[in-house]
Amino acid sequence: MKGQCITSKAFLLIILSLSIAKFAFGQPETPAEHDARMQWWREARFGLFIHWGLYAIPAGEWNGKMNYGEWIRTSAQIPLEEYDKFLQQFNPTKFNAEEWVRLAKEAGMKYIVITSKHHDGFCLFDSKHTDFDVMSTPFKRDIMKELSEACRRASLKMCWYHSIMDWHHPDYLPRREWEQSRSTAGADFDRYVRHMKAQLQELLTNYGKIGVLWFDGEWESTWNPQYGCDLYEYVRRLQSDVIINNRVGAGRAGMEGFAKEGEFAGDFGTPEQQIPPTGLPGVDWETCMTMNDHWGYNKRDQNWKSTKALIQMLADIASKGGNFLLNVGPTAEGLFPPASIERLREIGQWMKVNGEAVDATHASPFRKLDWGRCTQKAVGNDTRLYLHVFNWPADGKLNVSGIFNQAGQAYLLADRQRNLLPVNREEDALVVSLPGQAPDSCNSVVVLDIAGKPDINDPPKIVSEFDVFVETVEVAIVSDRDNAEIRYTLDGSVPSASSALVKGTIRLTETTVVSTRSFRNGKAVSDTAQAKFTKVKPRSAEKVDKLKQGVKYAYYEGDWDRLPDFKTLKPVKEGILRNFDFSPRQEVERFGFEYAGFFRVPETGVYAFFTDSDDGSRLYIGDTLVVDNDGLHAMHEERGVIALAAGLHPIRVTFFEKSGGDDLKVYYKSLKQEKQPIPEAMLFYEK
């Protein structure tokens, strides 16, 4: 895992391209067979992730620096012979498999995924194919055996995380860029793959039935989709029912965790440190997330997410049809950190009361609920809605808008007596009358039974590429319901049954607030959706003489958590590049770049710019900050919009890398141009 990711604000719109691999023994798997294999996982909703290994010994600290995690061997550039010394220091005498499993089960978790081997190559199991395992440590106990047996006794699913990448094995390629003295002579990647398969055979043969194989470390150039398909089929031959994440392939699109279009994708997507903003019908996915800022144990990291935030994340994920895999990084002694235990216990207390609103539930039928989230279950031919109320209404009225089913009983899950709550209809909404005090300050669950399957009318969607324009803008209003009339206003007022009827796109020529609502038989049947579209004056182009293609760069070195003010720093190197690349860098980590030049705009209009970077980046047009993608994170994309006149405009891109992976991609798009990397032919500098 990338130890310095933060929660994303955006989620790539490539989720619909997620292809589910359906192979068993080289033969197609029927949809019914696939659903049967996935059933327990889809019902589980909540699991425990454990990142544990030799990296727990330094506990995040090396040579006076204290922000490391499970990537410490490469982040701190520790030579192999030095890192190997941890082998004789690994002696977690306080490890108790029964206690770990008990904490997970009492938290309401249904499965455990643990690092059988992380990127450093150290194995927590007894492997006959390496001496770099737990049996070569003073501990000399097969941790995976003890944990798998404890899980089985507690009826939890045992699952393995297994890294494809291996910084220790002599045949794994590529080497770390900083390992100048570690030769690749004689290394054979195919031989490494055979070694990895042999270890996976041990993991799928010696420990009983395994629920999930959670691969990682697949992004390096040596791994490819063919290896991924072969490995997928190989492990399915060993255990036909095992569920395999999409990181077995080589087509994952960053930390969003879904496959690039047309790429092999395993059984489920793996968004990391982020939650998709909308539901994903027909797609299996699981958000993995840390409780603080690191996956592996870091004794200095006290930036803990609150229990309230974690409970609301669990409800949010379940409401979108996903699973929540919540991480703990144990200490070198074999203990969960006290703050992790505290949060697991508090989540467990909430789950003891409200667990049925998470377990075996389906995604919300509502697009958006201002007061919280919703999960649902079928109850015979009817439906039980679980209304997760984050914001308790001050007037005691819980408004469930856009629903046309007949209401049945309603009650609080926290009320053991199941005292019924009054439910009334007000236009398109069912309104549940609540007591004055919320039973839970984190998330109070209201049960609302309705007749039949949910009949929901969400507000229509107001669709346009940009919400600013220069001359005119075309706005579409769409709905997924074909039994409703869509009406709109352009003055900010709430539409009525006599408002204009949507009959195509709407052309705006001035700043306007568009409001829209669905109607049926002259009555409103949805909430109102609104969007403002602003007419703007484009930034004037600049006259520049003596241009040449390319951009100027300044290369810096330093240890930053956010982008520094490069104007106050002295560059290590300066020069000219054809685009935004890293070729002049001298360090693998802890460096930064500032690129400056001119971007030629082909015609006047609104332009979107994007930076996709690991770690932080920003993009400026002139003095205007257009894209702010700053901070410590894995590959993550942000977008910004600006109106530009045809001609030349100053462009400046800043970037820094702290540790782990690194990359920077810069894109643009317009109404006439699909999103693409900024071409070198559009970049210039002044001689």
DSSP string, 525-584: -S--EEEEEEE-PPBPPB---SEEESEEEEEEE---SS---GGGS--SEEEEESSS--TT
Asked if the model's pLDDT at residue 684 lies above 50, the reply is yes
Asked if the model's pLDDT at residue 172 lies above 90, the reply is yes
36 domain-assigned: yes
**Domain termination residue (choose one: 355, 387, 402):** 355
6 domain-assigned: no
CATH code at position 504 = 2.60.40
DSSP string, 188-250: -HHHHHHHHHHHHHHHHHSSS--SEEEEE---STT--HHHHHHHHHHHHHH-TT-EEBGGGSS
Give helix 338-354 / helix 97-106 axis angle, nearest 10°: 40
Burial class (CB in 10 A: 0-12, 13-18, 19+), 85: exposed
Burial class (CB in 10 A: 0-12, 13-18, 19+), 503: exposed
Around 382, how many Cα atoms within 13 Å sit in the side-chain half-sphere?
Answer: 12
For residue 386 the two structure tokens come to 């679980």
Give per-residue pLDDT as tens, 89-110: 999 999 999 999 999 999 999 9
Mean pLDDT of the residues in the chain: 93
Q: How many CB atoms lie under 10 A from the CB of residue 436?
A: 8
Residue 126 has what pLDDT? 98
Confidence of residue 11 (pLDDT cuts 50, 70, 90): very low
Confidence of residue 250 (pLDDT cuts 50, 70, 90): confident
- Do 490 and 467 lie in a common domain? yes
Using the 8-state DSSP alphabet, how is residue 657 labeled?
A: E
pTM of the model: 0.84
- Do 317 and 408 lie in a common domain? no
- Do 229 and 280 lie in a common domain? yes
Residue 259 has what pLDDT? 64
Residue 261 has what pLDDT? 59
Asked if the model's pLDDT at residue 666 lies above 50, the reply is yes
Asked if the model's pLDDT at residue 25 lies above 70, the reply is no
- Do 321 and 392 lie in a common domain? no
What percent of the chain has a predicted confidence (pLDDT) above 70?
Answer: 94
Residue 260 has what pLDDT? 60
- Do 431 and 501 lie in a common domain? no
Cβ-count burial 533-558 (b if 16+ within 10 Å, e if not): bebeebbebeebeeeeebbebbbbee
19 domain-assigned: no
Rama region for 285: left / alpha / beta (φ>0; ψ in -120 to 50; rest): beta
639 domain-assigned: yes
225 domain-assigned: yes
Average pLDDT, integer, range 163-178: 96
Q: How far apart are CA 613 and CA 6, in angstroms?
A: 13
- Do 337 and 471 lie in a common domain? no
Pick from 110-119, 574-583, 634-643: least confident: 634-643
- Do 154 and 234 lie in a common domain? yes
Confidence of residue 255 (pLDDT cuts 50, 70, 90): low
Q: Using an 8 Å Cβ cutoff, are 490 and 475 in contact? A: no
Give helix 143-154 / helix 97-106 axis angle, nearest 10°: 40
Q: Which residue, chain included where needed, has tokens 């039935």? A: 209
Distances (CA, A) of 522 to 71, 498, 514, 517: 61, 9, 20, 12
What percent of the chain has a predicted confidence (pLDDT) above 90?
Answer: 85
Give per-residue pLDDT as tens, 349-363: 999 999 999 999 999
2 domain-assigned: no
- Do 35 and 115 lie in a common domain? yes
Residue with the larger pLDDT of the pair 651 and 219: 651
Q: Using an 8 Å Cβ cutoff, are 578 and 549 in contact? A: yes
Give per-residue pLDDT as tens, 447-487: 999 999 999 988 999 999 999 999 999 999 998 877 789 99
**Domain termination residue (choose one: 405, 430, 450):** 450
DSSP string, 278-340: S--TT--BEEEE-SSS-SS--TT---PPPHHHHHHHHHHHHHTT-EEEEEE---TTS---HHH
Residue 428 has what pLDDT? 86
Give per-residue pLDDT as tens, 117-151: 999 999 999 999 999 999 999 999 999 999 999 99
Our count of domains for the chain comes to 4
Domain that holds residue 110: 26-355
Asked if the model's pLDDT at residue 408 lies above 90, the reply is yes
Average pLDDT, integer, range 643-670: 94
- Do 523 and 566 lie in a common domain? no
Task: Collect all residues with Cβ–Cβ distance below 8 Å to 17 and sequence separation of at least 6.
Answer: 258, 259, 260, 261, 262, 263
Give per-residue pLDDT as tens, 570-629: 999 999 999 999 999 988 788 999 999 999 999 999 999 999 998 999 999 999 999 999
Residue 680: what residue type?
E
Asked if the model's pLDDT at residue 489 lies above 70, the reply is yes
